[in-house]
Structure 1
Amino acid sequence: MKKYLIQFKPFLIFISTFFAAYILLTMVYKFYLNTFETNDVDGITSVVGKNVLQLMNAFNCDIKIFKSLSDSWLEVWYNKKYVIRIVEGCNAVSVIILFISFVLAFSGKLKTTILFIVFGILFIYILNVVRIALLAVLLFHVPEQQHMLHGVLFPLVIYGAVFILWIIWVNKFSKYAK
Structure 2
Amino acid sequence: MLQLFKKYSVVIRFIAVFLGSYFLLSVLYNAYLIYSENQTEFYPDFFTNIVSRQSAAIMEFLGYSIKLEPHETESAVKVFVEGTFLVRVVEGCNSISVIILFVSFILSFFAKKRATFFYILAGIVFIYTINLIRIALLTIGIYEYPQYSAVMHDIVFPLIIYGTVIILWIFWVRVYSNLEKNESQV
**Normalised by the shorter chain, which TM-score bucket?**
over 0.9
Which runs of structure 2 are paired with 1:66-85 in the superposition (5 Å)?
Answer: 66-85=69-88
Give yes or no for contact 1:106–1:176 (8 Å, CA) kept in 2.
no
Q: Distance in 2 between matches of 1:37 and 1:23?
A: 21
Deviation track 1:10-50 (CA, whole Å, cap 9, x = no partner) reads: 00000000000000000000000001226940110001011
TM-score by length of 2: 0.91
Aligned partner of 1:131 among 131, 134, 144: 134
Give yes or no for contact 2:103–2:120 (8 Å, CA) kept in 1.
yes
Which runs of structure 2 are paired with 1:40-119 in the superposition (5 Å)?
Answer: 40-119=43-122
Give yes or no for contact 1:73–1:88 (8 Å, CA) kept in 2.
yes
Query: Percent of aligned positions with the same letter in both sequences?
Result: 37
Q: Distance in 1 between matches of 2:179 and 2:114?
A: 16
Aligned partner of 1:153 among 148, 152, 156: 156
- Equivalent residue, structure 2, for 1:5: 5
Q: Distance in 2 between matches of 1:80 and 1:42?
A: 24
Deviation track 1:64-121 (CA, whole Å, cap 9, x = no partner) reads: 1111123210011112211110000000111000000000000110001010000000
Give yes or no for contact 1:109–1:175 (8 Å, CA) kept in 2.
no
1:174 positional shift:
5.3
TM-score by length of 1: 0.95
User: Are the structure 2 counterparts of residues 97 and 116 from structure 1 closer, same or farther at C-alpha, using a change threshold of 3 Å?
Assistant: same
- Equivalent residue, structure 1, for 2:25: 25
Q: Distance in 2 between matches of 1:175 and 1:28?
A: 33
Question: Partner of 1:35: helix, strand, or coil?
Answer: helix
Q: List gaps (5 residues or longer) in structure 1.
A: none
Greater mean alpha carbon deviation, residues 45-54 or residues 35-44: 35-44
Q: Distance in 2 between matches of 1:73 and 1:86?
A: 5
